[in-house]
Amino acid sequence: MARRHPPLRYLPYREARRLPHIVVDGAPQASTVLTLSHWPNNATPDRYRRDTSTETTLAWLEDHDPRRVAGVVTNSHFDEDGLFSMFTLLDPDRAWRHRALLADAARAGDFGVYRARAAARLCFIIEGHADPQRSPLPRPVFAGTATERIAALYRALLPRLPRLLARPNGWRRLWQDQDQHLDASEALLASGRVSIEEEPEAMAIASEAPSPLAQRELTEELQRLLACMAALEEERRKMVLLAYYSGWSREQLAAKLGKPVNTIKTWLRRSLIEIRECLGP
């Protein structure tokens, strides 16, 4: 009789260290048996590497059954690409049916580009769920430490994602304002009145962890700061670096990310609060 493998389950990043696990959209740990990520310097098998972790995971899924690899999947931060990658392993049949939308939405979330407006709206819906001021999720989801909030968001959104994928143009109140801002931003870019220049150095710093040798040479304080930065959602980490390392204005960030200026200001303020809380006294 063929061996039956139980379905995967999600565990928070630190809890997953106790068991063999798959890491998506992030860095491996000592007990990681498979990494599926688009981050630089990771251990993802070369043949499956793509521009986003969601596309990487979908490519790997074509050839493998995740249940035969490990019983746990995890991620160290919350963002759209991490959510979609994890969902792909936890609910592979449904993810495969929605693979075009998931891949498009992952690119929209990570790089601000998309083919279908439904993909951008799906990202806006996820962001709305993750925003304590607008979220329809229960208030306790946003209580506790940053690490606890990440776990609570995954536990709340992973079972909800099938409904969001089925109706990416639904939940209008969560995407309408950002959708209008996206229209305005694209019109400005098309008119030539504004332009966006890429900052590859800042983007690389945002996603690339220092090598073990470099880490040993860092001061203890800087190591703590880097660890706290790594705990931020990927988009917010990039935004903080672009604002405070590369000197981008709030208006430039809003145009780049397709968000209202007030949202950028709120995200920066909350990100700095989370970093201060993480650093402690």
For the domain bounded by 200-279, which CATH number is listed? 1.10.10.10
Count Cα atoms within 13 angstroms, Cβ side, for 279.
15
The position carrying tokens 């969001």 is 164
Determine if residue 41 is left, alpha or beta; phi over 0 gives left, psi from -120 to 50 gives alpha, anything else beta: left
Token pair for 55: 């596309």
> Domain segments of the chain: what residues?
9-175, 200-279
pLDDT on residue 245? 67
Cα–Cα distances in angstroms (integers) from residue 163 to residues 68, 108, 109, 222, in the given order: 27, 19, 19, 42
The set of residues, in sequence order, having a beta carbon less than 8 Å from that of 197 and lying 6+ positions away, is none
Strands across the sheet containing 72-74: 9-10, 72-74, 21-24, 32-36
Tokens at 171, concatenated: 């939940």
At 183 the three-state DSSP class reads: helix
- Return the closest-CA partner of residue 233 out of 182, 174, 274: 274
CA nearest to 5, candidates 97, 74, 89: 89
Cα torsion 226, 230, 235, 236: sign: negative
- pLDDT value at residue 126: 93
Q: Give pLDDT, residue 209.
A: 45
- Reduce the DSSP state of residue 101 to 3 states and report it: helix
Query: In 10 A of CB 222, how many CB atoms?
Result: 12
pLDDT in tens, the chain (281 residues): 344 567 899 999 999 999 999 999 988 889 999 999 987 667 899 999 998 999 999 999 999 999 899 999 999 888 899 999 999 999 999 999 999 999 999 998 887 788 999 999 999 999 899 988 889 999 999 998 888 999 999 999 999 999 999 998 889 999 988 888 777 767 755 666 545 454 444 444 444 444 444 444 445 556 667 777 777 877 788 888 887 766 677 777 777 777 777 778 778 888 887 887 777 76
Residue 178: its H or E element: helix 172-191
The whole-number pLDDT of residue 1 equals 36
